[in-house]
Amino acid sequence: MRPNHRNHGGFLAGVFVLLLPVFFPSLFAQLSHASPSLFSEWNAPKPKHSRLLKSALQHENSKEQKSELWNPLADQRWKPCLDSSNAPSLPNKSQGYIQVFLDGGLNQQRMGICDAVAVAKILNATLVIPHLEVNPVWKDSSSFVDIFDVDHFIDVLKDDISIVKELPDEFSWSTREYYATAIRATRVKNAPVHASANWYLENVSPILQSYEIAAIAPFSHRLAFDNLPMDIQRLRCKVNFKALIFVPHIRDLGDALVGRLRHPPGQNEALGTNLREVSDADDKQGPGKFVVLHLRFDKIVNLRTLNLVVMQDMAAHSACDFGGGKAEKLALAKYRQVIWQGRVLNSQFTDKELRNQGRCPLAPEEIGLLLAALGFDNNTRLYLASHKVYGGEARISTLRTLFPLMEDKKSLASAEERAHIKGKASLLAAVDYYVSMHSDIFVSASPGNMHNAMVGQRTYENMKTIRPNMALLGQLFLNKSMSWSEFQQAVVEGHKNRQGQIRIKRPKQSIYTYPAPDCMCLA
């Protein structure tokens, strides 16, 4: 295959732009105080909504508002419903082995695993434990067995499909490296996004019949969400909600973090009482309750950009301004040019237009003001589910001012406890996922894979999940003259039906985000 010299030249040009401050520092002297070198982060911006912040710190919410906020969801009559209409049964004879190669982060991989099980069932094939690609952003090489309890996975699905941990010796040649070196007859690389069951029967079954093995790569979003038999839909949910559990050391660490959030060490002595004896009449938050906040404000260190620290989600998916001034704009422009060749989602709109449309992720300061307006106060125990926050402690200082009882993995667990997950993005994400599923309330700063996964899981369990009204918030934050009472009233009204109420899946929507009605039944 001939190299693409044009793209190669563009990449070299981007690298040259990044190296300019290194070889010609005088050209960038005026930015030296606002923006340190390419290999470090600049100072976080000053609060953009200082009037609202000041009012939020002074305002005290009513007991009724606190009580309503922490009340669990009412019974919505929808219950988990995974039993197939027919008794699960294995085919008399497997048609062969199916391999899949999954990319993306933890949540994309979860969806891919669920789809792989469904495809194996459609084809009456034996599934090989899915291969997880090395994440190109986080450089994480964690395998399926590093993240998920493989024995539990196989046991839960033993009546539905046949699963093997490794291929038999006669197929040991079928590896990722084998498919990377040349075109192979057993590799399926043309599976369309959201392919139908018939596509697999027409295109993959013949390969199984000829070679008794088929390897599908890429395999991300390669199975439709609609027009599939109900048994297949419920099998997908069975994988997601029952078969995929994390390895024991992830669950143990997650349980330890949840325990420390519910009963912080030393708090009993400070209060002079037992936390379990505190009544809701005295503490409207309730004893031991906590919120998980997923910021989606992670930073990455990407080798392709010479270790330039950037906001991966923000740079990849929006053209919004995040308040970091000229230094931040320059860094994001460089990143977008080198990685995306200037092609950025919604780049034809101004920042104001994007915010009016609800297309800008919420910054830590803004998600803090949202939480305060909803009724959370400085006694709220908040767990921050994120990797490394872009901008570090300075970036989240306003959020911490509003919520001083904010914790994360590093603050709650010792270095020894975190040794098994250090430097492993998938395992770090798994811990956050586990803690999120055990929280009283979950809220994400903006839609994304983690948000979608939690919405689906917590809908399935009837647990409270706050979905920010992005369009409303974008418009509210643009109004610099709005008082706190007006802001709070608009926020509360705009989020009354966004706290975990059942939403029926529509065509083309993900079954993993909207499990009703395919995987839930009306009681």
Type of residue numbered 304: R
CB 131 within 8 A of CB 248: no
pTM: 0.85
Q: Tell me, what's the pLDDT at 342?
A: 57
Weakest mean pLDDT among 88-102, 163-177, 310-324, 394-408: 310-324
The C-alpha atoms of residue 512 and residue 523 are separated, in whole angstroms, by 21
Weakest mean pLDDT among 218-227, 264-273, 295-304: 264-273
Q: Tell me, what's the pLDDT at 280?
A: 40
The rounded Cα 40 to chain-centroid distance in angstroms is: 25
Q: Tell me, what's the pLDDT at 523?
A: 82
**Of all helices (H) and strands (E), which one includes residue 214?**
strand 213-216
213-216 and 308-311 strand pairing: unpaired
Q: What is the mean pLDDT of residues 432-453?
A: 93
Q: Please, what is the average pLDDT of the chain? A: 83
- Environment class of residue 366 by beta-carbon count within 10 Å: exposed (0-12), middle (13-18) or buried (19+)? buried
- DSSP state at residue 241: I
Q: Per residue in 111-136, is it b (16+ CB within 10 Å) or e — as a string?
A: bbbbbbbbbbbbbbbbbbbbbbbebe
- What's the pLDDT band for 21 if we cut at 50, 70, 90? very low
CB 17 within 8 A of CB 342: no
Q: Tell me, what's the pLDDT at 63?
A: 81
Q: What is the mean pLDDT of residues 300-314?
A: 46
Say whether pLDDT at 346 is over 70.
Answer: no
Say whether pLDDT at 450 is over 60.
Answer: yes
Say whether pLDDT at 315 is over 90.
Answer: no
Q: Pick the more confident residue, 4 or 356.
A: 356
Q: Pick the more confident residue, 409 or 66.
A: 409
pLDDT > 90: percent of the chain: 63
What does the pLDDT look like over 507-523, one tens digit per residue?
999 999 999 999 999 98
The C-alpha atoms of residue 28 and residue 44 are separated, in whole angstroms, by 19
Q: Tell me, what's the pLDDT at 361?
A: 83
User: Which residue is associated with the tokens 């490794």?
Assistant: 166
Q: What is the mean pLDDT of residues 223-238?
A: 96
> Both tokens of residue 436?
């999120």
Q: Which residues contact 314 (CB under 8 A, 6 or more apart)?
A: 297, 320, 322, 332, 361, 390
Say whether pLDDT at 23 is over 80.
Answer: no
Q: Tell me, what's the pLDDT at 61?
A: 83
What does the pLDDT look like over 475-492, one tens digit per residue?
999 999 999 999 999 999
What does the pLDDT look like over 109-141, one tens digit per residue?
999 999 999 999 999 999 999 999 987 666 889
- What's the pLDDT band for 298 if we cut at 50, 70, 90? low
What does the pLDDT look like over 382-437, one tens digit per residue?
999 987 776 677 788 999 999 999 999 999 999 999 999 998 999 999 999 999 99
> Both tokens of residue 128?
């090989």
Type of residue numbered 67: S
Q: Tell me, what's the pLDDT at 339?
A: 62
Q: Tell me, what's the pLDDT at 251?
A: 98
**Of all helices (H) and strands (E), which one includes residue 215?**
strand 213-216
The C-alpha atoms of residue 38 and residue 24 are separated, in whole angstroms, by 13
Q: Tell me, what's the pLDDT at 44?
A: 60
Say whether pLDDT at 349 is over 50.
Answer: yes
- What's the pLDDT band for 285 if we cut at 50, 70, 90? low
CA angle 67, 464, 297 (to 5 degrees): 110
pLDDT > 70: percent of the chain: 78
What does the pLDDT look like over 90-116, one tens digit per residue?
777 899 999 999 998 899 999 999 999
- What's the pLDDT band for 282 if we cut at 50, 70, 90? very low
